[in-house]
Amino acid sequence: MSADRAQTVLDFVVGMSVFLVAVGFTFAFVPSLLEPYAVGEGATVIVAERGAARLAESSLAAAGSTATLSHACTLAFFDGTDPATAAAESGCDWTANGDDLHAELGVDDFRGLNLTVTRNGTVRTLDPGGANVTMRAGPAPPRDRSVAAASRIVAIDVDPEDDVGRETHRLTLRVW
């Protein structure tokens, strides 16, 4: 080895690996820096808010009121009653029942939708004389994806016979 070679192959390997590690680190981190500003996630939030508003204010709402749900329309919606029958019998506003949330809310099929009506954190049921109808529609939200949720506070006549038994529920629409 000649005495005037200051830069050796070993030096080059160390320098180069440090450089490559730094470049790799940069590429791994820049996307996460920009993530909060990325679009796309925001759309699900808007879909959730608009969908919940649509359900609480017109689809399931009693005539002439917002946020107060009609017992008959809500029951028929989760019951899977035919839209034409529900409109004729109870004057309901929805055009597709709980089995087809996408059609009712006008949301593309590639998005997931889940609707629940809860009280104290548990999904409630409506009781049309014996057969309980759970107020839940759509598949369970996935655990590995970002899910947007919007809630409305609604009142439902649990017993349509007397006007006093109106209870507060939380209507939650999840979108992913």
Partner 1 sequence: MFVEHLPDDRGQAHTLEAFTAALLLVAGLVFATQATAVTPLSASTSNQHVENQAAIAAQDVLTTAEASGELRAALLYYDDGFVGADDEYYTGLPNASHPLHGQLREAFDNRRIAFDVDVYYPAADGEGLDRTRMIDMGSPSDNAATASTRVALYGDDRFGDSDQYVLADDGPGGYFAAPVGAGDTLYTVVEVRITAWQM
Where on the chain is the footprint of partner 1 (CB under 8 A)? 4-8, 11-12, 14-15, 18-19, 21-22, 25-26, 29, 32-33, 36-37, 42, 45, 49, 56, 65-68, 119-121, 148, 150-155, 166-170
Strands 148-157 and 68-69: parallel
Q: Which is nearer to partner 1, 33 or 131 (CB)?
A: 33
Residue 175 C-alpha from the chain's centroid: 2
Instruction: Provide the sign of the torsion angle of the four alpha carbons 114, 118, 123, 126, taken in this order.
Output: negative
Nearer to partner 1, 130 or 145 (CB): 145
**CB closer to partner 1, 49 vs 79:** 49
Quote the tokens at residue 138: 């759509």
Scanning the structure block, which residue is given the tokens 């608009």?
50
Choice between 24 and 91, CB closer to partner 1: 24
- Nearest residue to 111 (alpha-carbon basis) of 56, 153, 55, 51: 51
Q: To the nearest whole angstrom, how small is the minimum distance from the Cβ of residue 53 to partner 1?
A: 8
**Least CB distance from residue 130 to partner 1, whole Å?**
26
**Minimum distance from residue 113 beta carbon to partner 1 (Å):** 18
Amino acid at 35: E
One-letter amino acid at 143 equals: R
CB of 96 to partner 1, least distance (A): 24
Q: Which is nearer to partner 1, 27 or 110 (CB)?
A: 27
Region of 161 on the Ramachandran plot (φ > 0 left; ψ -120 to 50 alpha; else beta): alpha
